[in-house]
Amino acid sequence: MNGGDEAGASGDLPQPLDWRFSQVFGERSAGEEVQEVDIISAIEFDKSGDHLATGDRGGRVVLFERTDYKNTSGARRDLEGTDYPLRHPEFRYKTEFQSHEPEFDYLKSLEIEEKINKIRWSQTANGALFLLSTNDKTIKFWKVQDKKIKKICDINTDPSKTLGNGSVASSSNSNSTNTCLTNGGLPDKVNNSLSNDFSLPPGGIPLLRLPVVTTSHETSPVARCRRVYTHAHDYHINSISNNSDGETFISADDLRINLWNLEISNQSFNIVDVKPANMEDLTEVITSAEFHPTHCNMLAYSSSKGSIRLIDLRQSALCDSHSKLFEDTETPSSRSFFTEIIASISDIKFAKEGRYILSRDYMTLKLWDINMDSGPVSTFQVHEHLRPKLCDLYENDSIFDKFECCLSGDGLRVSTGSYSNLFRVFGVSPGSTESTTLEASKNPMRRQVTTPSRPSRSLSSITRVVRRGAAESPGVDGNGNSFDHTTKLLHLAWHPTENSIACAAANSLYMYYA
């Protein structure tokens, strides 16, 4: 993938990774029922990898921060030179906030659910974290910053010296108690005593002191909504993506892509519009969109027909014409009723350096070189064993599940989810045979593929073998395990600098490292 050398001939192939369980948040016990609002619907690492955000169907955003090297003395480069290895990434809960609430569109008589569709981190500034979150209609820009806790100290009344009639005794030595109350609160005893008949001690209070607000050294993260971007999409938002310029971002729905400035919430520019004059002529919709990681003028979007279009914002204000089109043509003899459904791309991701695009359709992962539009450079079979079951999957709507994909920071591996809470990791180096199946559990390797196969660009022979195996045992998945379409791993993210993956299984967040 890097440089185009034939790594298979040189023998410099990276070794398959040994994945291990790291952490789990929100693990449910056996038989515990999962609440619909708790199911995770979005995962995203920030660019540094020090923070992780998740969104759920209840409209909440939960933030985690890395802790495994914060208390380590010495520079990371120095630690790498020592004999003992660095610890794997460990995260802890930081904070959570309610990003979206359920709404109702009275003009269209349409309920707008609070489910978080996407989360994208923005550039940090002055020690604060910034991120975008969106549901079907509304995008919000959040600032999360650690604030020092303010306390009220030096109150005259001493709650430890209450009299029997409910009055409060006070003395000139009230400095010794030095009662501190967080955020202006009062102890229950003080509230009770002051609510009754309050009497002054004989001779009055010798010294009257007003409460003093002091700032403690303790901090607490506080989330504040900075901007709300709304009323710009007639259809459900499926993607948001930050631009490398740090000032703009795009939002995409089924038919349009809008360009926003982070500082301007009441105006956006429509840059892609695929809505036909007559909706009966509609043949495809936009499924995902993403900015190029380094070129602020380039972005890509995918369609329900399995194509990816690369557009250049310098060409025109309305980018209806693409600069490049990537699609994998299928032979007419293999077409069926399900061909267009399974060809629909559910997610696209640019590699870190921006030369490659990873796409996920229902059956496969495809890796594209933006300099070569004749076809994908690699195709990885994910659901080929489900081809005989497409009728059943269509009946229960599972065929419309939208699986996400991700790439490692070094560009050597790709990953995506599957059913039965499984996810796959493939090596993309030329000649690599790495193909690992893991389960979102504390023992991820128990479903390890024993005989990995490397799908290449020429898939005819491999496809025939896999299809034959699936037909012989239609009740199992590609690894001989029972197939469960009700437990699906749709969302996952790869750490930007290390071999660490975070994935969501219902309401649980699992993390693995290699």
Strand order through the sheet with 256-261: 239-242, 248-252, 256-261, 264-273
**Residue 205 pLDDT:** 67
- On the question of pLDDT at 177 being above 50, the answer is no
Q: Which two tokens stand for residue 212?
A: 């003093």
Q: What is the DSSP letter of 488?
A: B
Task: Provide the mean pLDDT of the chain.
Answer: 82
Q: Measured between alpha carbons, how far is 306 from 340 in angstroms, rounded to an integer?
A: 8
- SS3 state at 79: helix
Contact assessment for residue 249 and residue 266, using Cβ atoms and an 8 Å cutoff? no
Q: How far is CA 343 from CA 304, 309, 416, 420, in A?
A: 7, 15, 16, 22
Q: Measured between alpha carbons, how far is 385 from 477 in angstroms, rounded to an integer?
A: 6
Helix ranges (DSSP H) in 147-280 = 188-195
In sequence order, what are the residues at sequence separation of 6 or more whose Cβ sits closer than 8 angstroms to the Cβ of residue 210?
Answer: none
Q: Residue for token digits 């995506």?
A: 416
- On the question of pLDDT at 11 being above 70, the answer is no
In sequence order, what are the residues at sequence separation of 6 or more whose Cβ sits closer than 8 angstroms to the Cβ of residue 497?
Answer: 48, 49, 409
When comparing pLDDT for 27 and 176, which is higher? 27
- On the question of pLDDT at 10 being above 90, the answer is no
Q: Measured between alpha carbons, how far is 244 from 227 in angstroms, rounded to an integer?
A: 19
Q: Which of 225-239, 440-454, 465-479 has the highest mean pLDDT?
A: 225-239
**Residue 443 pLDDT:** 85
- On the question of pLDDT at 449 being above 70, the answer is no
**Residue 484 pLDDT:** 82
* pLDDT tens per residue across span 377-415: 999 999 999 999 999 999 999 999 999 999 999 999 999
- On the question of pLDDT at 230 being above 80, the answer is yes
Q: Measured between alpha carbons, how far is 180 from 154 in angstroms, rounded to an integer?
A: 7
**Residue 320 pLDDT:** 79
- SS3 state at 512: strand
Pairing relation of β-strands 308-312 and 324-326? antiparallel
Give the distance between the most distant pair of CA atoms in the chain. Answer: 103
Pairing relation of β-strands 508-513 and 91-98? unpaired
Q: Measuring CA to CA, which residue among 237, 221, 263 is closest to residue 122?
A: 263
Contact assessment for residue 158 and residue 184, using Cβ atoms and an 8 Å cutoff? no
Q: What is the Cα gyration radius of the chain?
A: 28
Give the mean model confidence (pLDDT) for residues 447-452: 44
* pLDDT tens per residue across span 47-57: 999 999 999 99
Q: Measured between alpha carbons, how far is 237 from 53 in angstroms, rounded to an integer?
A: 19
Its pTM stands at: 0.79
Q: Residue for token digits 């550039």?
A: 123
Q: Would you give the distance in Å from CA 418 to the centre of its chain?
A: 17
Q: pLDDT confidence of 190, banded at 50, 70, 90? A: very low
**Residue 217 pLDDT:** 78
Q: Would you give the distance in Å from CA 76 to the centre of its chain?
A: 27
In sequence order, what are the residues at sequence separation of 6 or more whose Cβ sits closer than 8 angstroms to the Cβ of residue 471?
Answer: 388
Contact assessment for residue 32 and residue 26, using Cβ atoms and an 8 Å cutoff? no
Q: pLDDT confidence of 476, banded at 50, 70, 90? A: low
Give the mean model confidence (pLDDT) for residues 264-282: 93
Q: Is 177 exposed, middle or buried (0-12, 13-18, 19+ CB in 10 A)?
A: middle
Q: Would you give the distance in Å from CA 63 to the centre of its chain?
A: 11
Q: Would you give the distance in Å from CA 315 to the centre of its chain?
A: 32
Q: How far is CA 456 from CA 172, 358, 360, 365, 375, in A?
A: 85, 15, 16, 11, 12
Q: pLDDT confidence of 447, banded at 50, 70, 90? A: low
Contact assessment for residue 498 and residue 409, using Cβ atoms and an 8 Å cutoff? yes
Q: pLDDT confidence of 88, banded at 50, 70, 90? A: confident
- On the question of pLDDT at 252 being above 60, the answer is yes
Q: Measured between alpha carbons, how far is 510 from 214 in angstroms, rounded to an integer?
A: 40
Domains of the chain in start order, with CATH, are 21-26+35-69+88-150+219-446+481-513 (2.130.10.10)
Q: How far is CA 327 from CA 113, 253, 302, 461, in A?
A: 34, 21, 10, 21
Q: pLDDT confidence of 431, banded at 50, 70, 90? A: confident
- On the question of pLDDT at 455 being above 50, the answer is no
